């Protein structure tokens, strides 16, 4: 497995150094908890104004299930997203969900891309961000890469916004080319240890992704326990690409 970077070689990210409003943008419900749930908990504890934006409906994780239609699953996943954010301290009035298609999130130049960029821009305009937490540009999931491109396009009018790219699937799925290249990015390490229990509880809110809840799609997505253990132990890596 390629290494993102040895954590002890990263620069420690102090949550107090992030200016608000901070927006965390997630392609799917659970990405914010897995990628930077500890940092979110730190920020909300500090009183930093923190907003959350969900891009897709999350309804594609169990396509063969008969008892869980796409609509039912999307409703469940939205409820799970809210429950996780409750635990992480993001206020209810500071959450927006765009209902874009899970598994088919377009890049800006593709069909539907311009409309998605416009929707993200108008969401962010509700509290123009000082800092955006978004998926790493080469996180190994097509929706995560598309999300990155859409968010960058939406931020074109706000060039000064600080962008920190969280990692979700990098340790489990990355090819070498997916990793930050030498001098490409500052690698920040957020110590999520103090918030590990809250982060784990937020991840556990996503029952539809943990196996057990949806039993009639054997090929449906299941978040593996190894991945959860890795995500809640130690540090969260955030990459800030040099501009
Ligand atoms: Zn995701």
Percent of the chain clearing pLDDT 70 (strictly above): 97
Distance (angstroms) between ligand 1 centre and the Cα of 243 equals 26
Distance (angstroms) between ligand 1 centre and the Cα of 28 equals 5
Extract the tokens encoding 49.
């104004």
Note the pLDDT of residue 3.
64
Mean pLDDT of the chain: 94
Extract the tokens encoding 95.
């959450």
Note the pLDDT of residue 10.
85
- The reply to whether omega before 66 is within 30° of 0 (cis) is no
Note the pLDDT of residue 5.
57
Note the pLDDT of residue 6.
57
pLDDT per position as a tens digit, 71-89? 999 999 999 999 999 999 9
The order of strands in the sheet holding 22-26 is 11-12, 185-191, 235-241, 162-166, 131-135, 22-26, 50-56, 95-100
Bridge partner residues of 75 (DSSP)? none
Distance (angstroms) between ligand 1 centre and the Cα of 160 equals 26
Q: What angle do CA 223, 227, 231 make, to 5 degrees?
A: 115
Distance (angstroms) between ligand 1 centre and the Cα of 113 equals 18
Distance (angstroms) between ligand 1 centre and the Cα of 26 equals 7
Q: Could you give all domains of the chain from N- to C-terminal order, each with its CATH number?
A: 18-241 (3.40.50.10320)
Q: Is the pLDDT of residue 242 over 90?
A: no
Note the pLDDT of residue 25.
98
Distance (angstroms) between ligand 1 centre and the Cα of 105 equals 11
pLDDT per position as a tens digit, 194-227? 999 999 999 999 999 999 899 999 999 999 999 9
Report the alpha-carbon distance of residue 120 to residue 24 in Å, rounded: 12
At 8, is the pLDDT very low, low, confident or very high (cuts 50, 70, 90)? low
Note the pLDDT of residue 210.
94
Q: Is the pLDDT of residue 7 over 80?
A: no
Distance (angstroms) between ligand 1 centre and the Cα of 56 equals 9
pLDDT per position as a tens digit, 102-139? 999 999 999 999 999 999 999 999 999 999 999 999 99
């Amino acid at each position: 497995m390629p290494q993102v970077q040895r954590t002890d070689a990263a620069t420690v990210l102090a949550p107090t150094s992030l200016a608000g409003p901070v927006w965390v943008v997630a392609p799917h419900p659970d990405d914010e908890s897995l990628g930077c749930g500890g940092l979110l908990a730190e920020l909300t504890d500090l009183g930093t104004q923190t907003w959350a934006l969900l891009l897709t409906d999350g309804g594609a994780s169990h396509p063969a299930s008969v008892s869980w239609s796409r609509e039912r699953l999307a409703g469940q996943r939205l409820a799970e997203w809210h429950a996780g954010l409750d635990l992480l301290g993001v206020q209810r009035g500071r959450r927006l969900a765009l209902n874009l298609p899970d598994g088919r999130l377009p890049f800006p130049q593709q069909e539907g891309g311009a409309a998605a960029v416009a929707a993200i821009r108008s969401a962010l305009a509700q509290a123009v961000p000082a800092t955006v937490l978004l998926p790493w540009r080469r996180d190994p999931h097509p929706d995560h890469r598309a999300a990155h491109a859409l968010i960058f396009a939406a931020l074109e009018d706000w060039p000064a916004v600080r962008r920190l790219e969280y990692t979700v699937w990098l340790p489990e799925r990355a090819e070498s080319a997916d990793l930050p290249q030498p001098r490409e990015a500052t690698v920040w390490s957020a110590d999520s240890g103090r918030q590990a229990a809250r982060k784990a509880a937020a991840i556990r809110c996503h029952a539809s992704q943990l196996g057990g809840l949806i039993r009639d799609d054997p090929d449906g997505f299941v978040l593996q326990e190894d991945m959860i253990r890795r995500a809640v132990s130690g540090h969260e890596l955030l990459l800030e690409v040099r501009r």
